[in-house]
Structure formats: C-alpha cells, structure tokens
Chains A and B, each alone.
Chain A
Amino acid sequence: MTDAAVEIDRLSKRYGAVRALTDLTLRVESGEVFGFLGPNGAGKTTTIRLLLDLIRPTAGRAELLGMDSRRDAVAIRRRTGYLPSELALDPRLTAGELLDYYGHLRGGIDTAWRDGLVDRIGLDPSRRLRTLSTGNRKKAGIVQAFMHRPDLVILDEPTSGLDPLVQRAFLDLVREVAAGGACVFLSSHVLTEVEDAADRVGIIRAGELVTVDTVAALTRQAVRHLVLRFTGPVPAEAFTDLDGVSDVTVDGALVDATVTGSPDALVKAAARFELADLSPRDTELEDVFLAFYREAS
C-alpha cells in the first residue's frame, strides 16, 4: 500500500439518474506515468475532479499519496499539481502574476525551478492571460501544475491545443518528474498523445473502466485502418481470408482494410504486387474500444 500514489476503491458519482462514474477501482504507483483514456464524456474529468475533492463521490473512496481524498484534501493538494481540461485563468493577470499568486498560496516555491519551467515550456510571463491563445494559456497551466515539485501531477487533457514542439517539451518533463519518483496521471481522448509517455493506460467508457494495460499490449489489440495504393489494379481474391484483416474493399488499385493487431498478413499479401503507397488512417481511440466490443460480443 505504501507506494501507491493513487488508490481508488469503487468510486462512483451519480447526478440524479445519470451515472457519471461507476465503481472505479484503480491503483497507480509512484514514479508511474498513467494514461487515462476515453472519449469525451466518458468520466475522465469526473474522476479527476473527485480525486481533487472539487466534487464529492456518491459512493466509494480514494487515497492520494496515502491520504484520504476528502478528509486530507488540503494536505493532498499541497503535494499535488493539477491542470484542468477547460482551463480558465483570471484574464486580468499576466502569466507571471498568476504563477506568483499560486506560488504565494503554496507558501512559497523554488523560483529557480519555476523559471526553468517557464523557459522549457516557452511561456512569456509578461503577457496578460486575456491576450494569450489557448495553447499559450495551457503553457501557463502546465507550469503552475509542476512549479512546486509535486509528488502527484493530475493533468486533464494536457496536450490538446499545444503545438508539437511544446508537446514534446511537455512529455519530456512528464518523463523526467516520473523518473524522479512522482506519479503523473494524465487523461486524453487520443491514444497517440499519451502512448509515448505512459507506462500503463486505463480506458474508460460511459463511466466504467474497460481495461488497464500497457501501451504495447493495447496497441496489439488496437484496430487500424490501412489504405494501400498499388501501381495497377489488384485482384480482390488476393486480400480475402487474411489473418487479422477484416472489412476489405478492393477498388482497382486501391485497397482499404481494417487490421486488428499485427498487419503482417496484409503486408505479405500486398508484397506480391507493386505498392505505390501504404498509409494508415488515424487511429482513433474509438477503434481501440471497438476491439473490446468485439471481444465482449
């Protein structure tokens, strides 16, 4: 029990008849980067807000850093960083003033570390938050979540709105603090945004945890759409009954296939013809879910 940064036990939240979260049980270790994945409205934000004691559970409980999420909320928040998904910051303040304010409320922070973060993320602290783009406001949110060297960082959709360069700097930071022993709990609705950083991924759908596994294991079960373009027309028979391949449509030189797990059989079948292009269509998280539905049914 001692090393769990997050220990959730049958946590549930209901709004009247609406079940926002049902019996969530989950354990995340210190030093771990945990990706919390699900489509919008699946219960990710509800879970995170329950952990931070912004909303209260209908049933169940959670321990963060070994403390009760309700009773020890203030002590937990002292050692926790948080980035909300719909980040609203006081528009009248500059980014630097915002960091000063929260730094004071935390009883003072290591300003050298904070200034280092500001540089790494590329935040301009002199700009008024009102004048910043969503991506730049997000930078301010990221810095404030990490600036007091928290033992637990809870980030709700941190990468949405960030440009790729900042996204990389952010993921480096996540890996670095996790290597230093902190737990990073980050939610996203896009697998590719967290797969590089997360050790394990939990998938939540309609308020229920569907699975928890390593990223590698999940991609093995992931469903992908591949589009193959050949230099000339290909026979449809060549692409029937392939291992792990379904929903094949052959239209002249164009082949569209759905692959579950390894694309090996499809690639070998394609190798008999002259291939002009092979490209995946975006893997949406929904496709990963699809694999689970098929398993279930």
Chain B
Amino acid sequence: MLGSVFTKTLRDQRRSVIGWLLGIVLLIAYVVAFWPSMERSPALTQITEELPEALRAFVGGADLTTARGFFSTQLFAFMLPVLVGILAVGKGAATVAGEEERGDLDLLLAQPVPRWRVALEKAAAVLATIAAVVAVSCAVLWTGIAVIGADVTAAEVARGMVGLGLLGWLLAAVALAVGAATGHRGTAVAAGAVVGLLAYLASTFARLANGLGWLAAASPWTWAFRGDALGEGPGASGVAGLVVLTAALLAAGIWRFTERDVGV
C-alpha cells in the first residue's frame, strides 16, 4: 500500500471509510426491514394521497406505496446522499488541503513526482474510495431487497447507486479542487457543503415554484436522481453531466495547485 501516492492515499482513508460504510449499511438494513410492514399498511396509501404536493416533492416526489418509490424516498431523496456527501466532502478537503495544513505535503512534494501527478493520484484515490463505498452499498441494498422479496429490480438499484456515486464524486471534486487551489481545508469543506446544499434545495424546492423549473434542471442533484432515483436514475445525460463537471473541477483545481506556492 506504500508503492504509490494513489495506494498510499487509499490506505490513509481505509479506517474512517469502514466506519462510514458501517453507518450506511445499518441505514439500508433499517429501511429495508421496514418495507414489509409498510407494504401491508393500507393507512400508508391514504397518508400519501393526502400529502400536500410540496411535501411530496420535498421527499423526492416518488410514490411511497410502491417499493421503488419507498426506497427512492427513504434512501436516495436525502439520507444516502447526505452520508455519501459528507464522506466525499470530508475526504476531498482532507486529501490535499488537509495534508498541506498539517505540513506533511512538503516532503511529499520534494520527491521526484510532478506536483500535478501527486494531486491527480490523490484525487483518483478519493474517487475510488467513494466508488467502493457506493458499490458495497449497492450490493447490500440489492441483497436486502432480494431477501424481503420487494418488487425492485437489480437494474433499478444500480441506477440509483450510479446517481449516488456520481453525486458523491462531484461533491468530492468541489472540495478537492477548492482545497488544491487554496490550500485551506476549511474553505474546501465550506465549498463542498454549500454546493451540496444548494444543489439539494434547487432540486427539491425549485421544482415546485412556477418558472423555477430551469433551476431544478440545473442542479446536479436533479441530474443524479431526477424524479425518483430508482425509477429514472441519472440517465445518459445525467451521467455525462456529472462526469464532465467532476473532471473539469478536478482539472481546474489541479492546474491551480501546480501554479501556486505551497504551504505558505
């Protein structure tokens, strides 16, 4: 694990990632275990029908009476993106800016590895970590759904998870790029959190307001999940948008990192 900057960065993240993963798995298990009793409850259908449209949009606008809608809402409308988002922003900010503030980036940058490559390998390791967390979440959710026999296909689970992972990548890229460009961990965390929050608000509230549909359409959150995460998923355009934006942010952040003074 000490052979390259990439593997070393993976190693740096393993302990805290196991903790996050445990939390995410517990959440998924809890929600999955809840579905069979919800499915049999006629009151639920009634509640959903009485729910004001605003509130329904707030939880993702999905139909809570179907398994697909239920999991979309309970997992993908808020909880999973928040958990993965915090992980992504935290790792993105800690990886270049955090090490620079701690001081141990100095000696690493004195090794015969180009500065852009150090940043790129570290970014790749953060994205790989997020991908791994989402892949495990995907396997756990699919297994749970299979166990309780809910009416959700593997493709639908995968769609939702791809959206989740790409949104996580984007938020990690925001934090990593801002951190690489400025060297300040706090600024990087703030940037990631603000982008995540604005994307969420734009996606949920703007959809309700007349004339603000363009704002919802511009939100990466919408690109990742659209109406309901398991039903529609990001689609080709969503995937392309998220990937291109992630790559552009990382490229800009790494470029700025190679140009500036480090550790001042």
Contacts and interface: CB of A to CB of B under 8 A. Distances in A.
Is this pair of chains taken from one and the same complex?
A: yes
Interface of A: 15, 49, 52, 54-56, 73-75, 77-78, 80, 82, 84, 86-90, 92, 97, 100-102, 104-107, 141, 144
Interface in B91-124: 102-104, 106-114
Given A54-B109, A104-B3, 8 more contacts: A52-B109, A56-B260, A84-B106, A84-B110, A102-B107, A102-B111, A105-B4, A106-B111
B111 A15 contact: no
Nearest to A80: B110
A112 to B, nearest CB: 19
A105 B103 contact: no
B2 A82 contact: no
B218 to A, nearest CB: 37
Contacts of A101: 2, 8
Interface in B215-264: 260-264
A141 B106 CA distance: 12
A75 B113 CA distance: 9
23 contacts: A49-B263, A52-B110, A54-B261, A55-B261, A56-B260, A56-B261, A74-B112, A74-B113, A74-B114, A77-B111, A80-B110, A82-B107, A88-B103, A89-B107, A92-B12, A101-B2, A104-B4, A105-B5, A105-B108, A105-B111, A105-B113, A106-B112, A107-B112
A104 B103 contact: no
A82 B110 contact: yes
B29 to A, nearest CB: 30
Contact of A55 (B104, B112, B114, B262): B262
Interface string B1-20: 01111001000100000000
A-B CB proximity, top 4 nearest: A88-B103, A55-B261, A78-B112, A101-B2
Contacts of B12: 90, 92
Contacts of B108: 105
Contact of A89 (B104, B109, B260): B104
B112 A15 contact: no
A86 B262 CA distance: 14
A274 B107 CA distance: 56
A54 B260 CA distance: 8
A254 B260 CA distance: 57
Interface string B162-173: 000000000000
A54 B110 contact: yes
Contacts of B3: 104
B264 A55 contact: yes
Nearest to B15: A92
A104 B107 CA distance: 14
A200 to B, nearest CB: 24
A97 B107 contact: no
A88 B102 CA distance: 7
Nearest to B103: A88
B8 to A, nearest CB: 6
Contacts of B264: 15, 55
Contacts of B262: 54-55
A90 B8 CA distance: 11
Contacts of A97: 2
Nearest to B117: A74
A285 to B, nearest CB: 25
A54 B263 contact: yes
B195 to A, nearest CB: 29
Contacts of A86: 103
A82 B5 CA distance: 18
With most chain A CB atoms within 10 A of its CB, the pick from B3, B104, B109 is B104
Nearest to B11: A92
A89 B8 CA distance: 14
Contact of A77 (B2, B4, B112, B260): B112
A100 B2 contact: yes
